[in-house]
Structure 1
Amino acid sequence: MLNYISLFLYINVYKIFYTYSLYINLVEIMPIDINLEKWLSQLPKEVFTPRNVEEFRKYMDEGSNIIKQFAPKIEMKEIRNEFINGRESKIPVRIYIPKIVETQGILIYLHGGGFVWGSSDSYDHVLRYLANECKCKVASIDYRLAPEHKFPAAVIDSFDSVKYFYEKEKSVAIAGDSAGGNLSAVSSILARDEGIKLKASVLIYPTVGYDATSKSMREYSNIFLTREAMNFFGLMYLKSPTDIYDIRFSPILAESHKNLPPTLIITAEYDPLRDQGETYASILNRSGVETIQIRFGGVTHGFINLLGIVPSAEVTLQTISSFIRSKLNK
């Protein structure tokens, strides 16, 4: 565990206490990273207050293509595009195989994007980096998106992918950011309930349930991930308002969180989802789950996509990779 602490010595640390879990948070508010602030200032208003899903996807794709130009150029030994026969659809999967494979098993990655946007293409720079640093195969799942495919289509595709790779590899970890963090948390619970023993779960600024009143939601829902955007995503994704009580959308409401895989939860200081992610870490800890929770200062929701622009993105991905390597090789 000390290697995680030493990695973050230069971050302003608020408290580190280790019982069964490790928490690293900040002592004081840090200003938003200057490069991140510049990037946010250049985004069109449609990203902050989406009204039309096609328009939102267009602007997000354009931004993603620009971001990837700044990311490290990492060559893979092989990249394969495949399909999994799911219960309801053929699920596109992209397999990244790095030049050096030293870690057994596979990391399943579920991208973010509010359940309405995102793909292996838009996350290609992040996926290459993870495969290279984890030194293992990475499977990126292109689950079905809303509003064309409403809840729980994304959950079904995600968990079908977990079952498929567990049968093939046995040593399986799962990770995801934002909406993908939600799907990773849900898939971890569904896997436990079916006797599938995942090696690890990584939740990057996840949404784990409905939250309208937390401190971070009140104070930071006007920076990048706005309240308007979250409401839009909910309307696009959910079939009914009562879906927020379904544990396949709100894993925080699960009857039990015991016997879940070792979990790393990443939160961002200026993220409205910060408090629910940290609350979920506390729930896992109280349930006896090996839990590490790290809050990165000076960054907003979505910062890992800014690999090559915001330094914390690379530090975060290195931390995730170290965690995944240690768990897959057990």
Structure 2
Amino acid sequence: MCAHFLKPYPEGVSTKDFDVSGVPVRHYTPSTPLAGTLVVYAHGGGFVVGGLESHDDVCAEIADFAGCEVLAIDYRMAPEHVFPAAVDDCWTVYKWAAERADRIVLAGDSAGAKLSAAIAIKARDEGLGHVAGQVLIYGAYGGEAKGGSYDTMANAPGLTTEDVKFYSEIYFGKWPNSNWDNKLARPLLETDFSRLAPAFIVAAELDPLLDDSVRYAEVLNAAGVRAELRTEPDLIHGYIRARHMSEPAAESFIAICQAVKGFCHGGG
């Protein structure tokens, strides 16, 4: 299905595929990249599907709009590789990036947003690198999958509450086990959100994950971390796929790219 939405690269964007300590990545370079800055992107797909090809045009367009190099991660996925494999792979790539860039922007959609939030927490805890910002697109951050938007949007198109539970059990293992209690698996379990990088958090209104984004923005702001929440009316989970055929989706994607650019250039 992803191939149906793929678009050609913007003019001037080039790529190179390689491995970082065994983790496949794709490096996007715009025609005139900003020096010393790198966007690290984790794709969505419920920790089960997706990869370098599924989000290829998304990353190319972000690189072009922001004028920054982008590094996309092809992390290991479930069910063959359960938590913490994806986090470990993203951390491996982050450490590589931190050795080469003065500023890192963590970005991702859906499962990738959760991974980006987890890496921001781990980077702060370990004092490694400089995360300039987080751009988190309709992510799952550890809500209980009941009540609120999990009920009101239980049968939303694009993603249902049962889908969320299904993907979670594939990624964490069947409830209960210790994976479900790990803050890198469910960032909302963190008890100290201070000193995290500022965040631009995007949510779709017609998405059971809506309240996760609302809550994550709340806890960051309460801890003194600047977090902007943008909720997209009448859009569903995964809508950035439709950015070339839906004006609201296009406007949201432009805002996402602007946020990335702002963090890359020291604002945001």
The counterpart of 1:280, out of the listed 188, 196, 216, is 216
Q: Do the aligned partners of 1:79 and 1:94 also contact (CA within 8 Å) in 2?
A: yes
Match of 2:155 in 1: 222
Q: CA deviation at 1:286?
A: 0.3
Letter in 2 for 1:305: R
Quote the Cα distance in structure 2 between the aligned partners of 1:118 and 1:92: 13
Normalised TM-score (structure 1):
0.76
Name the counterpart of 1:92.
24
Residue 239 of structure 1 is aligned with which of 159, 173, 179? 173
CA offsets, 1:115-154, max 9 Å, x none?
A: 0011110111211110110111000000001001011100
Q: Say if 1:211 and 1:276, in contact at 8 Å, map to a contact too.
A: no
* Structure 1: 4+ residue segments shifted above 3 A: none
TM-score relative to the length of structure 2: 0.93
Distance, in Å, in 2 between the alignment partners of 1:80 and 1:234 is 32
- Structure 1 letter corresponding to 2:210: R
1:259-311 Cα shifts (integer Å, max 9, x gaps): 00010000011010001111110000000001111001110111012221222
The answer for unaligned runs of 5 or more in structure 1 is 1-62
Larger-Rg structure: 1
Contact 1:76 1:128 in 2 (8 A): no
Q: Percent identity?
A: 33
Distance 1:314 1:144 in 2: 30
Unmatched runs of 5 consecutive residues or more in structure 2: none
Greater RCO, 1 or 2 (C-alpha within 8 Å, sep 6+): 1
Q: Aligned pair 1:134/2:61, yes or no?
A: no
Conservation of the 8 A alpha-carbon contact between 1:113 and 1:178: yes
Question: What is the rounded CA distance, in whole Å, between the counterparts of 2:9 and 2:182 in structure 1?
Answer: 41
| 2: CA distance, partners of 1:103 / 1:265 | 25
How many residue pairs get aligned? The number is 262
Q: Residue 170 in 1 paired to residue 105 in 2?
A: no
Task: Give runs of aligned pairs for residues 29-178 of structure 1, distance below 5 A.
Answer: 63-68=1-6, 71=7, 73-85=9-21, 90-102=22-34, 104-178=36-110
Whether the 8 Å contact between 1:76 and 1:96 is mirrored in structure 2 is no
Alpha-carbon RMSD across the aligned residues, in angstroms, is 1.5
**Could you say which residue in structure 2 is the equivalent of 1:321?**
257
Task: After TM superposition, give the deviation of residue 315 of structure 1 in Å.
Answer: 1.8
